[in-house]
Amino acid sequence: MYSFLEEESESFPILFASLFFALGSPLFTGRLLFGRGIVLFLGFIFLYLRKYKEKRWIYLFAISFFSVWTYAGFPILLILSFFFLLGDYFTTKHLTYKPILYTVSGLALGMILHPSFPNQFEGYFLELIVQAFPPTDTEAIAEWLAPERGLIWGGIWFLLLFIIHHMFHENEFSPIQKIFLSLTIIYLIFGISSLRLFEYYFLFGYLFCFSGKPSPKQINYAGIAVLLLVLFPITYGKMKQQYEFTDPNPAFNTADWIKKNLPEEKKIFLSWADYPYFVFRVPEKQYLFGLNPIYSWAFDQKKYMLQRSFFEGSTLDYEQIPGILGYKYAVLNLNYYKPVADALRHSEKAELVYENNRYRIFRMIGTNK
């Protein structure tokens, strides 16, 4: 990022730009701290931009190839190559096909030589198409939903003000700035409808602001002050809350109890949101399903609705559902399913066998069938 922006801008304000990237949006910072493929993929985007500028087309092929193995957001490279094609045409009146051809070839070969080939195509369809327009009977996943208004405003206001400043104080934008601004607007619109796309609004808006003429020093100093005095405390507070909410120790303690006390029990009735903690700690057990419930819905909608109605307590005799599906022990997260956990505690059809501040394990009586 630094090497690309240093070449694109007339005078790159490294301190301001670094603080801006880290603190400019609590929502963006929080998304990065998930530490998933997006962090590595952002590096691929910056490397792609740099090699495009150097006209090192074979590098575009390699970056595109490996990006497919890294993160499902790899179509962004195709979008970038298309916008670059348009930008070159409007600037030179000539079409330069090499970047888009090398990008498409790299993406295609990456998909063909993918370790999951050809099964990843079903995953792309479910996550990029079906989940973008989720069926009404599936559970809502936070990152696929439209963020709350307060979350949206808290995530965009600082960058949005900086974008507006550049739009009114720069007389002329470079072709690549126009591309970044167009993508910023596009992803802002889609980011409002799905939290999963929000980081690209911030990324392209950031690139738009720092790839052109630098702001006056007074603006930079004022921006640094706002970042340190306003946004840093907000970001720190939100990240602290997130870490406390996702503290893995209660889940690990529960999983350790299962491993020690239920060594012969192979199947554990567990919600999708808790899957990462338990499979990390006790990978030898068989859990209800993995992290994303859209796959369970696609595999067997009837079974999916049965397990959902258990955790929601939304049907008569919901206590029988684990046994119907072949499970004897059920784990309930009190953060999400406390009403059902409280009801089971007083039910004759369930026996509480373990409890901590976040989890309860029940043996479902009379359902081991």
* Predicted confidence (pLDDT) at residue 90 exceeds the cutoff of 70: yes
What gap in Å lies between CA 184 and CA 212, rounded to an integer? 15
| Greater model confidence, 327 or 8 | 327
Strongest mean pLDDT among 27-31, 150-154, 172-176, 280-284: 280-284
* Residue 362: per-residue pLDDT: 95
Given pLDDT bands bounded at 50, 70 and 90, which one contains residue 35? low
Domain boundaries, the chain: 2-244, 249-364
Within the chain, where are the H helices?
2-8, 14-23, 26-32, 37-54, 57-70, 75-92, 98-112, 120-124, 149-169, 175-193, 198-210, 217-226, 232-245, 249-261, 275-281, 293-299, 301-312, 321-324, 334-345
48 — alpha (psi -120 to 50), left (phi > 0) or beta? Answer: alpha
* Mean per-residue pLDDT of the chain: 86
pLDDT digits (tens, 9 = 90+) for 206-236: 999 998 888 888 999 999 999 999 999 998 9
What gap in Å lies between CA 41 and CA 81, rounded to an integer? 16
Its pTM stands at 0.80
Give, as one character, the DSSP assignment of residue 268: E
* Residue 144: per-residue pLDDT: 59
Q: Which phi and psi angles does 332 have, rounded to 5°?
A: -120, 130
Given pLDDT bands bounded at 50, 70 and 90, which one contains residue 316? confident
Given pLDDT bands bounded at 50, 70 and 90, which one contains residue 315? confident
pLDDT digits (tens, 9 = 90+) for 93-141: 788 888 999 999 999 999 999 888 998 888 888 877 787 777 777 776 6
* Residue 366: per-residue pLDDT: 63
Given pLDDT bands bounded at 50, 70 and 90, which one contains residue 147? low
CA distances from 214 to 166, 173, 184, 204 (A): 9, 12, 19, 16
What gap in Å lies between CA 25 and CA 150, rounded to an integer? 13
* Residue 369: per-residue pLDDT: 45
